Structure 1
Amino acid sequence: MKHKLLLTTLILGAMGTAHAADPLSAWKDTAAKQSIEQWVQNATNQDRSTYIPPQKRYVVFDNDGTLWPEAPLTFQLQFAIDEVKRLAPEHPEWKNDPIVSAVLNNDLKTVAAAGEKGLMQLLELTHSNITTEEFDQRVANWVGSHRDNRFGCRYDQMGYQPMRQLLDYLRENGFKTWIVSGGGIDFMRVIAEKMYGIPPEQVIGSFSLSEFSLTDNGTQLRKTMKGAFYDDAAAKPVAIHLFMGQRPVAAFGNSDGDLAMMQYTAANPDYKTFGLLVHHTDAEREYAYDSHPPASGKLVEGLSMAKEKGWTVVDMKQDWRTVFDPKSCVPESPKQ
């Protein structure tokens, strides 16, 4: 009897250790998780024809809606709105600007209806005519002092736990992880390393040209809106080629705006690639949408293309044990 009890204890202990050591513990053991693990095993096993050499293991991730939420607004747009409110008292000349009036009156419908033109106006007011160092500090201050209105967590605490685990898992298996997003490159670089372990040089996003000048104290780069490049849809493969210089072997997104990046990756002629789309289906723990997103992240064509291409579609409600890490996303009263 004692031997049986000892054996049972050892087995249960081993099972518990194995579960605790699961690098993808925030994922349920469904087909989505299995497809990830199988592809990684095939790509890293030198005895298989699907082996990918370490120097070719470049993988790309969209950010908004893939690594953190983009509903009800993208975090960067919320930052721009909060910055307009903070800076407005110093700029009385803004008072007659309709988009500023909408922001100050919390009229988000008008802000959203202004589309790309309105967004560019907000970005010009809050993202230009300042040094790159000042902009970085403004983003860091905002991240450290503002919280999401619904969840009450700081924005840098709201990375999806399953995707953060996936980033770690891929890196542990020799993959180099990149962000390729429509979000601003300077905005994301402030927080990407802390949140995702992705260094600034592996962040690709929308950008405009800065101006270099000599100053009494040395040199400076000043942000402008010149030469603006919006890194979305067909522009993503262009940016990947420009910044990475090689075609990825895996791509992870959540919207039709990521399809060109995923198609470009899937067409890699040398290796068996992997594609994954995050489908927002969990209204209780996050948001539920596809064809009618709150602001951005429409996913219609991608769902049908995933079947055709054999991409993995992650059902957030069914495939994830957790959405946000309960240890890091600790709700408090929003500080706005």
Structure 2
Amino acid sequence: MFHVKHFDVIVVGGGHAGTEAAHAAARMGVQTALVTLRQRDIGVMSCNPAMGGLGKGHLVREIDAMDGVMGRMSDKGGIQFRLLNRRKGPAVQGPRAQQDRQLYQKSMLQETLSRENLTIVEGETVDFLMDGQRVAGVVLADGSEISAHEVILTTGTFLRGLIHIGDVSYSGGRMGDNPSIKLAERMDAFALPKGRLKTGTPPRLDGRTINWDALEMQPGDEDPAMFSFMSTSPEARQISCGITHTNERTHEIIAANLERSAMYGGHIEGVGPRYCPSIEDKIVRFADKSSHQIFLEPEGLTDHTVYPNGISTSLPEDVQHDYVHSIFGLEQAKITQPGYAIEYDYIDPRALTLELRVKSV
């Protein structure tokens, strides 16, 4: 049981947003608690082990300009740096860096452990301490109570998280992690306007079973654009990513099994992101295209896992095997983890003030 009872600020959730929020509070000199399920998961990249891109690259740099940590950690963990839209104007250029999952996670955890005024608390937040209409702290699953002047929630994909692979669905915050059900149910009492979102992830591949020799390879930029204004050059060894494409056979396999996809079989009510559609979405929405590009992105310098960027899916595992093996260079590829869709609650941002405070509580 946790004995220190009071902090100035409690941050719930140790993902990208929660870690930044906790560091920001601690830098201001106030005693801050970061409540997360497992300390070792701080800095874990849930989906694609890359940082930045169009729009998101600007965001990371803005965070860095305010002395945030993501930019510096990305420069430590980056194994391939590319400035997207280099031929266009600076407003639409996006810095992106493929990350070594372990390097990034290790750097972020170390930075968080060494931050003055910041205490990591392991536990699941299941309830709030209330002082009238004011949230005055949190209650953990083991019954511990921690009070605070301010409580910051960073919910990610965990609130009532539901994982879908074909017609199989089960609760999860991400693959291998429990969802946050009790906190979601507790927040129902606040009667906040909510909705469901969904995002997807591709099957992970064993890089040793990919025919790299047959594939086009894409190196990083010769003069890398770093995220942090404090960095001068990459710290890790740099790598190339492979490029391949779906083909008409791939599209036939997917089209023939559309109704078995969680997305198209009616299992998902959440709305998907506009800018990273699943492969099923691409086949339906861009029916005139006979192929789609796939980037084969290694997840680390010492990790054989490869992230095939461009084929996220919620199709059943057998269909995933068939369509992956129809792709050039992946004929013998071994799938180490199936792709899946994840659906979760989000709070309608119109329930928040301009300071991102909940208006009604």
Both proteins in one fold, TM over 0.5:
no
Q: Higher helix fraction: Structure 1 or Structure 2? A: 1
TM-score norm. by structure 1 comes to: 0.25
- Report 1 or 2 for greater relative contact order, CA contacts < 8 Å, sequence distance ≥ 6: 1
TM-score norm. by structure 2 comes to: 0.23
